[in-house]
């Protein structure tokens, strides 16, 4: 590309290429993030899975093996997979949800994909399933999502019906991402949260922001319905007779 003065313009590397090129480095960073999420209670009981793009052409992901306790996650427990979820480095089976990671990488341009199973995402994805998603609006923390500049932003977190058929589910994930390209994550009903980012750091931030906002929603609901005496209105409890 030429500048108006005819000089070649240096195009900065896209942040999404940040993870590329080093499987060991990506696995190390993902393992550290996974242990942190376990400590927060977001990936208990072997739940959750994590991946990062390490090469785009050909497509290669570092991804967790299936069935791991995330509390002691290490870099050695990661596998390298290709665009069809075949293992090309390491021994073992990749996450059962690898096809969802690939669908997100393909259709959201993600450089990293993180999946958590917090109590809040599990509860809210059930209570809000009949609305098709959760609208998050008015919170300063929304500005932690990529490209969001104001608390007035309305973030739509779609809820997809859960399934054990990963081919079918990956297909619905793909359709959701094509139909609503502005989202930063989605919920699987009574299952958990998927979010992603151009870089691993961005994906981690998105988990923290979305988990925070879901916890706020849960606690706000509880705050409104607990400690309020029967028959009370917003001016206080009814007088004792």
What is the binding site for Zn ion (CB under 5 A)?
A: 192
Task: Choose the stretch contacting ligand L4RZE5RM; rule: CB under 6 A; options: 46-54, 138-146, 172-180, 217-225.
Answer: 46-54
CA distance 169 to 233: 45
Answer for the pair 165, 102: CB distance below 8 angstroms, yes or no. no
Distances (CA, A) of 46 to 53, 71, 72, 94, 112: 22, 9, 10, 13, 20
Contact call for residue 46 and ligand L4RZE5RM (CB under 6 A): yes
Task: Choose the stretch contacting ligand L4RZE5RM; rule: CB under 6 A; options: 59-67, 126-134, 198-206, 218-226.
Answer: 59-67
195: which 2 tokens?
Answer: 């979010």
Contact call for residue 121 and ligand L4RZE5RM (CB under 6 A): no
Cβ closest to Zn ion, residue 21 vs residue 45? 45
240: number of Cβ within 10 Å? 4
Distances (CA, A) of 31 to 69, 183, 184, 198, 204: 11, 26, 22, 18, 12
Establish whether 117 is an annotated binding residue: yes
Contact call for residue 47 and ligand L4RZE5RM (CB under 6 A): yes
Among 49, 118, 121, 122, binds ligand L4RZE5RM (CB under 6 A): 49
Q: Which residues are annotated as a binding site for Zn(2+)?
A: 115, 117
Residues that bind ligand L4RZE5RM (CB under 6 A): 45-49, 64, 66-67, 95-97, 115
């Amino acid at each position: 590309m030429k500048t108006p003065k005819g000089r070649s313009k240096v195009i900065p590397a896209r942040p999404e290429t940040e993870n590329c090129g080093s499987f060991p480095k990506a696995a190390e960073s993902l393992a550290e993030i996974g242990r942190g999420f376990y400590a927060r209670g977001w990936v208990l009981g072997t739940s959750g899975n994590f991946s990062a793009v390490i090469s785009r052409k050909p497509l290669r992901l570092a991804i967790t093996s299936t069935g791991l306790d995330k509390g002691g996650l290490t870099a050695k427990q990661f596998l390298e997979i290709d665009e069809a979820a075949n293992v090309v480095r390491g021994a073992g089976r990749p996450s059962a949800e690898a096809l969802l990671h690939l669908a997100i990488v393909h259709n959201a341009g993600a450089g990293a994909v993180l999946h958590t199973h917090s109590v809040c995402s599990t509860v809210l994805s059930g209570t809000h399933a009949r609305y098709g998603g959760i609208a998050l609006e008015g919170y300063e923390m929304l500005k932690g999502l990529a490209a969001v500049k104001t608390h007035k932003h309305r973030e739509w977190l779609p809820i997809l019906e859960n399934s054990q058929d990963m081919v079918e589910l990956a297909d619905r994930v793909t359709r959701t991402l094509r139909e609503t390209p502005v989202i930063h994550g989605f919920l699987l009903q009574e299952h958990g949260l998927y979010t992603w980012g151009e870089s691993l750091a961005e994906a981690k931030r998105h988990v923290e922001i979305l988990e925070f906002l879901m916890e706020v929603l849960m606690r706000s609901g509880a705050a409104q319905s607990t400690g309020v005496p029967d028959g009370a209105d917003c001016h206080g409890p009814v007088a004792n007779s």
